[in-house]
Amino acid sequence: MELMVLLNALVTRLLFVLHSLIGVWRVTAVKKEPKYWLLALLNLLLCLETGLTLKFKQGRGYKWFSPAIFLYLICIVPSLWLLEIHHGTQYCGNEPGAVQVNVSNQDFNQSRESSHGSEGTDHHIIQTAKVFVNQLSTICETVWTLALHQTFLLLLVVGRWLLPIGVEITRDQLSQLLLMFVGTAADILEFASETLDIEDVRKNYALINAILAVWTWSMLQFPLDLAVQHIGCKPSASARRIPSLLLCRYSAELWNIGVSLFIQDGPFFIVRSILMGHFRIFNQMLVFFTAKNILVVTLQLYRLAVITLDFRTTVLQKSRKGEVCCCPCEPYEARAHATGRQENEMKEFVTVPPKEESQAPSEDH
């Protein structure tokens, strides 16, 4: 096993575990009940996945699915749910926050002087850690929850970048996937922060649960890598079945359209439409992002129509010429065999000289 592969696999999963433990600590501090530390047991699944990946895959990832990202979602999402449901019970203002920071800095300087004069370096480190934890505890709940949301989405992108890739995915595909994840993460963060910060939404417990459910549903696209990979198909199946041929040729594009319509922009548009139509909640940003979701959904449907018409035209042209429709993503052996056979036939046609016509003896001779 390569050293860098092992190091990246362990460091990335360690970051996932630490961030999940911070979320559990915040839930325990907000709820003031030690029983919520049981949420930390979910990290055992991530530890088990780490051992199995190192043993059977030598630390590398899979083709279409990332178990580490999926288990990280399982570890952190329950903590964010509890923090959002308990959101807003602690007052958060600018001036009190500044006072708390100044007081904590003063305590930090006092502890530093006392530790330097009396007990030495070890006591100084312990006192510094205590003051630092107390300073973090003084930060209000809303700031902590937003910071966990932001670091969660950033860690998803960075973690997917650091995780070792499998043999089936290339660096070019990974770069495309990461760029897509950055835009997706920004849209998801905007949806959660913009809708949950509305006062009328905070007063409706069922509406909060619905928004969090849609938010959780949109997170399920991160463990999947189908947006940049083509699904292989057999030549016999692709030549006979039109749907399988369409899926084989445009698998990545169809997956992107499906994600936008059914996982991200479509559900976001439905939630925002319900907020404006049923609950009569209107603000400038809500109207803007609703229009943005309508535009994205319309463009995705237009893209789907263009792909379907282009595929239909290609199939009709090949059927009129009597050619068999071949899938561009079929296995390499089949394509190489077909290509080699065509080249051999062409060489035979070119190299074999035409037969000379035997002149029949004339009757006059």
Domain boundary among 227, 248, 272: 227
Same domain, 40 and 167: yes
The two structure tokens encoding residue 177 = 């996937």
Q: What is the pLDDT of residues 103-156, one digit of tens each?
A: 445 454 554 555 444 455 666 777 777 776 666 666 778 888 899 999 999 999
Report the C-alpha gap between 156 and 68 in whole angstroms: 10
Whether 287 and 310 map to the same domain: the answer is: yes
CA 2 to CA 60: how far, in whole Å? 10
Residue 82 pLDDT: 93
Looking at every residue in the chain, the average pLDDT score rounds to: 78
Residue 190 inside a domain? The answer is yes
Does residue 85 share a domain with residue 11? yes
Same domain, 243 and 297: yes
Kindly state whether residues 254 and 163 are assigned to the same domain.
Answer: no
* Tokens standing for residue 35: 């029983």
Cα–Cα separations (whole angstroms), residue 242 to 52, 246, 297, 364: 39, 6, 25, 65
The model's pLDDT over 155-201, given as tens digits with 9 standing for 90+, comes to 999 999 998 877 667 888 888 889 999 999 999 999 999 999 888 89
Question: At what angle are helices 171-196 and 141-162 packed, to 10 degrees?
Answer: 170
C-alpha span between 269 and 149 (Å, rounded): 21
190 lies in the same domain as 59: yes
pLDDT, residue 333, reads 42
Distance (Å, whole) CA 54 – CA 60: 8
- pLDDT the model gives residue 92: 59
Directed axis angle between helix 171-196 and helix 265-277, to 10°?
10
Residue 196 lies in a domain: yes
State how far the Cα of 315 lies from the Cα of 30, in Å rounded to an integer.
Answer: 61
Instruction: For residue 65, give the 3-state DSSP assignment.
Output: strand
Whether residue 31 lies inside any domain: the answer is: yes
Are residue 163 and residue 288 in the same domain, yes or no? no
Q: Domain range for residue 314?
A: 230-323
> Domains in the chain: how many in total?
2
Give the SS3 label for residue 276: helix
Question: Are residues 157 and 15 both part of a single domain?
Answer: yes
**Domain boundary pick from 288, 307, 323:** 323
Residue 339 lies in a domain: no
Residues 205, 158 share a domain: yes
In the three-class reduction of DSSP (H, G, I as helix; E, B as strand; rest coil), residue 224 is classed as: strand
134 occurs within a structural domain:
no
292 and 161 part of one domain: no
Would 117 be classed as within a structural domain? no
74 in any annotated domain = yes
1 belongs to a structural domain = yes
**Same domain, yes or no, for 188 and 64?**
yes
> Which of 181, 200, 227 is the C-terminal boundary of a domain?
227
Q: What is the pTM of this model?
A: 0.77
Asked whether 262 and 276 are in contact (CB, 8 A), the reply is no
- The neighbour count for residue 9, using CB atoms within 10 Å, is 23
Q: Which residue type is seen at 288?
A: F
**Listed range (19-33, 114-128, 224-238, 325-339) with the worst mean pLDDT:** 325-339
pLDDT digits (tens, 9 = 90+) for 244-262: 777 778 888 888 999 999 9
**Using CA atoms, how far apart are residues 129 and 122, in angstroms rounded to an integer?**
11
Those residues with Cβ within 8 angstroms of residue 177's Cβ, 6 or more apart along the chain or in another chain: 160, 225, 227, 228
* Interval 297-316 mean pLDDT: 91
Name the residue with tokens 């809500």. 286
Residues 165 and 255 in one domain: no
- What whole-number distance in Å separates Cα of residue 127 and Cα of residue 138? 17
